[in-house]
Chains A and B, each alone.
Chain A
Amino acid sequence: MALLEVERLSVNYGAIAALEGVSLEVEAGELVTLIGANGAGKSTTLRAISRLLRPLRGGLRFGGQNLLGLPPDRVVGLGIAHCPEGRQVLSRMNVEDNLRLGAYLRRDKEVAADLERQYQLFPRLRERRRQLGGTLSGGEQQMLAIARALMSRPKLLLLDEPSLGLAPLIVREIFDILAELHRQGVSILLVEQNAQLAMRRSDRTYVLEAGRILLSGRSSELMGDPRVQQAYLGTGAA
């Protein structure tokens, strides 16, 4: 049984279908990438998993438990951390308060230790710990959003476009960190525009097109698929 099971999920925005029968799985410890064009339904998939959206129909299970019917805050309690698109840090709160809120549901004594771990992972955040979230640069906000998601000690991390609008150097830094998390055994479902980068680092890939899964398989194999190369990697024969 996979850690996350999404089964024929359909989501509508009003009368418009955003997802139509999407099925995907994430095994424990896996790094899975979801790629696709703008508007293909990548963010919608993540938002449906974290229960920000109500699906029309379909199944949603995490660790064998049915997620349908749960409010988003309960999903967090089960071990899913969703790091949303657009680096949604709390702009009126400082870095450290943002991070502490990431551990809102935790009552254990290791929160301080985890805070220290995040600062080790993202030394830039330690320098800016008293600064308001809204005053950070784009890359720093992205780091803060990821670190905040990690503060809940998730079993599964949902990451939405971590590279969006960032300088290449920072993108590399962030992906290095993702690789490190992956090595530590955190399961990750990554939505990414930069398909090449994401596929190279991930175990498996799903290709989403117009609300449906078009292709799926091991990332290394899919990278050789001409359809993927042409549409998403920009390396296929023109």
Chain B
Amino acid sequence: MTAGYLLQQLANGLSNGAVYAIFALGYTLVFSILDILNFTQGAVFAVGAYLTYSLMTGHIGGGQLHLHLGLRLPLWLAFTAGALISGLLGVAIEFLVFRPLRRRRADPLLALVASIGLATLLVNALQLIYGAQNHNFPFHALGSLPPVVYLGPVIVRSIQLIILGVTLLALAALWLFSRSRYGKALFAVAENPAVASLLGISVSRYIVWTFFLSGLLGGIAGTLVGLSYSISPYFGQNYGLIGLAVIVLGGLGDIPGAVVGGLVMGVIEALTVGVLDFYISGVGSGYQDAISFGILLLVLLFRPQGLLGRKLVQRV
């Protein structure tokens, strides 16, 4: 096993981890504010990808429906519009599911189950419209960009580099936001909604914005991942479980933690395959999930606050 080989596996892990990270960001954002797991995130992710696909190719359907839109947008415009509509979908989910449940002071478990139900509904709607088959972005969606780039001895798929870049950009934007007056108000809402409202902060408006942002991130992530592979109605659900593991790894509700958790998860998976399979075929790839989730369990036992989690000092 050479250093170049390990470096390549590390790069594989980081690039796949970037996908986990960008998915987990939207997840953790809602959790950090509302302490609920919004399982519609995987569905919004898929919807975002299909929206961009349809706006770009001018084609809706493949399942029970065949429609041709009168327009075809360039990738960047379709991407932006797709992400914004995904954000609005996030808002709609807040109004349709989470807000009514909060009003009734429903158990958080109920919100979780409701979100799983809505996610299933959304995914089935996608299947009805587009069919179960895979759709693909046009091959030249990314223009003249080469499919892979060589960083020294290491090969990385260009789209994967873009995903890593966008993830870090999103993190930076969230960091800047967190330093602003609005960001601090949002943190106040997260920590104590009653106190926040006594400071004049409109809690419901901030929650709506949170859902918008998380839907926006979901749409961005879905399109990027769709560009990287191909899209099918269920492709977001594969990220649901791993995304959950990632935000636990990073510390529930910890926003930078979600990114670090995603990257770490990606690297663990890559090294599991890279090291174990190198010596005994099929062992690492066969037990990949067992090993990643085993590590997750250890983290939970020894660092329940997550990898980055700082212990909160709470005096009462």
Contacts and interface: CB of A to CB of B under 8 A. Distances in A.
Whether A and B touch directly in their complex, counting CB atoms under 8 A apart, is answered as: yes
Given A84-B195, A152-B200, A135 B184 contact: no
A48 to B, nearest CB: 13
- Most interface-central of B185, B195, B313 (chain A CB within 10 A): B195
Contacts of B204: 71
A136 B314 CA distance: 10
Interface string B182-194: 0011011001101
Interface in B36-75: none
A105 B314 contact: no
B313 A135 contact: yes
Given A52-B194, A100-B184, A76 B199 contact: yes
Contacts of A81: 198
A97 interface: yes
Interface in A98-157: 100-102, 104-105, 132, 134-138, 148, 152
A100 B181 contact: yes
Contacts of B314: 91, 134
A151 B315 CA distance: 24
B199 A148 contact: yes
Contacts of B181: 100, 104
Nearest to A91: B314
Interface in B14-46: none
A104 B184 CA distance: 10
A63 interface: no
A49 B195 CA distance: 15
Nearest to A81: B198
B203 interface: yes
A154 to B, nearest CB: 10
Contacts of A93: 184, 187-188, 191
B313 A72 contact: no
B315 A50 contact: no
A50 B198 contact: yes
B185 A73 contact: no
B312 A92 contact: yes
A135 B204 CA distance: 29
B133 interface: no
B230 interface: no
Contacts of B203: 73
A236 interface: no
A148 B314 CA distance: 19
A212 interface: no
B197 interface: yes
A81 B200 CA distance: 9
Interface residues of B, number: 21
A97 B196 CA distance: 13
A90 interface: yes
Contacts of B134: none
A88 interface: yes
A105 B195 contact: no
A204 interface: no
A201 B301 CA distance: 54
Contact of B315 (A82, A97, A135): A135
A93 B187 CA distance: 8
B154 interface: no
B185 A90 contact: no
A101 B184 contact: yes
A101 B315 CA distance: 21
A71 B187 contact: no
A77 interface: yes
Interface in B167-213: 181, 184-185, 187-188, 191-192, 194-195, 197-204
Contacts of B201: 73, 101, 104
Contact of A52 (B185, B187, B191, B198): B198
Nearest to A97: B184
Contacts of A84: 194-195, 198
A101 B188 contact: yes
B170 to A, nearest CB: 22
Contacts of A101: 184-185, 188, 199, 201
A84 to B, nearest CB: 6
B313 A134 contact: yes
B186 to A, nearest CB: 11
7 contacts: A50-B198, A52-B194, A90-B187, A90-B195, A102-B199, A134-B313, A148-B199
Interface of A: 50, 52, 71-73, 76-77, 81-82, 84, 88, 90-93, 97, 100-102, 104-105, 132, 134-138, 148, 152
Given A76-B200, A97-B184, A148-B199, 16 more contacts: A50-B198, A71-B197, A73-B197, A73-B203, A76-B198, A84-B195, A88-B194, A90-B195, A92-B187, A92-B191, A92-B312, A100-B181, A101-B199, A134-B312, A135-B313, A137-B315
